[in-house]
Amino acid sequence: MPEVNAYAIDSPTGRYEKTTITRREPGPTEVYFDIAYAGICHSDIHTARGEWGKTLYPLVAGHEIAGVVSKVGSEVTKFKVGDRVGVGCFVDSCGECDMCQDGEEQFCTNRERGTVGTYNAIGRDGEPTAGGYSQAITVEQNYLMHIPDEMSLEHAAPLMCAGITTYSPLKHWGAGPGKKVAVIGLGGLGHVAVQLAAKMGAEVTAFGRTLAKRDDGLKLGATDYVATQDIDAMKKLRNTFDIVVSTISDGVELDTLIGLTRPHGVVVNLGLPSDGKATFSLGRLINGNRVIAGSNIGGIPETQEMLDFCADNDVRPIVEIIPADEINEAYDNVVNSKVRYRYVIDTSTMG
């Protein structure tokens, strides 16, 4: 079995250090590919720092992965050596339950063989899964995506999470011509959500704590940019939006977001507070038939659809490419909102 270079962290207060991990040889229906780039998602940070429950250390994080196929199993039919491929937040599921059959493998209901995360989970071989902060990975062919030729690998990587996390709710709730969409937070998720909603044909307003990112928001496709700290501006926008997509985990009360929606509007939460809890006034929902919803990621078919949409409509994340030895610094910068807008690790620097 091949050994590959990787970066791992061994405790909630530890630091990422260079190491080697063993990847299994591809089975009959599996694909082994060389990782070129891996995006840094805030979920990686929460998991590495033990903020979202139990973490299996040592941890090799990363679920925004793009690379090139170098080996395929004897029964692989969907990919060949040389194909450009991506992997997102999960690498396996039962494939048999209603959710899996409907292409929503992220919600696999099989109690014994549920959705298997790309990292911090137990894989089909009984070993902890290790993610994209490494130079290669072996994955069952049904959990890989084709990366369109028009898209660079460094831009494709963040879309494996940030792209599908924002595309799925926008599509589900009907973003498009004649709809007004608010995107709360112009960060790693928000800057992709603005582009997607605009390309879908919606009228988009971006929101940030201050106006510091206003120019970026307008360039990405928003028609307006509002500071959430501007109380008067927020009041003027009450009862305005069909869809409010919140990419933040704190900083704006849910009641305030609900107030932005029109009757029959929806607030979709993508950000998760560290304690997983939030409060709001039920009366604000009942008065106007409003909806408050959550959204996770998407299944494999929808993720492929998202990649194709982004390729066709020139939706690209804004990335900062970093060497692997800057992961620890990058984590701190993400937490302190100092990245614009997605760090992507060049795995060739794992050397």
Tell me the pLDDT tens digit for each residue of 48-96: 999 888 999 999 999 999 999 999 999 999 999 999 999 999 999 999 9
Instruction: Tell me: pLDDT of 275 over 80.
Output: no
Q: Identity (one letter) of the amino acid at 210?
A: T
In this prediction, residue 52 carries a pLDDT of: 87
Backbone angles phi, psi at 179, to 5 degrees: -105, 145
Which tokens belong to 209?
Answer: 């704590």
Q: What value does the mean pLDDT take over residues 116-120?
A: 97
Please determine whether the domains at 3-151+316-350 and 165-294 fall in the same fold group of CATH.
no
Residue spans of the domains in the chain: they are 3-151+316-350, 165-294
Residues 6+ apart with CB under 8 A from 43: 52, 63, 89, 161
How confident is residue 272, by pLDDT bands cut at 50, 70 and 90?
confident
pTM of the model: 0.95
In this prediction, residue 216 carries a pLDDT of: 98
> Where is 231: in which H helix or E strand?
helix 231-236
Omega within 30 of 0 (cis) for the link into 341: yes
Q: What is the CATH number of domain 165-294?
A: 3.40.50.720
Neighbours of 264 (CB within 10 A): 10
Residues forming beta bridges with residue 84, ordered by sequence position = 68
Classify domain 3-151+316-350 at the CATH superfamily level.
Medium-chain alcohol dehydrogenases, catalytic domain (3.90.180.10)
Q: What phi-psi label fits residue 276: left (phi over 0), alpha (psi between -120 and 50 degrees) or beta?
A: left
On whether the CB atoms of residues 23 and 32 are closer than 8 A, the answer is yes
How confident is residue 276, by pLDDT bands cut at 50, 70 and 90?
confident
In this prediction, residue 131 carries a pLDDT of: 98
Instruction: Tell me: pLDDT of 207 over 80.
Output: yes
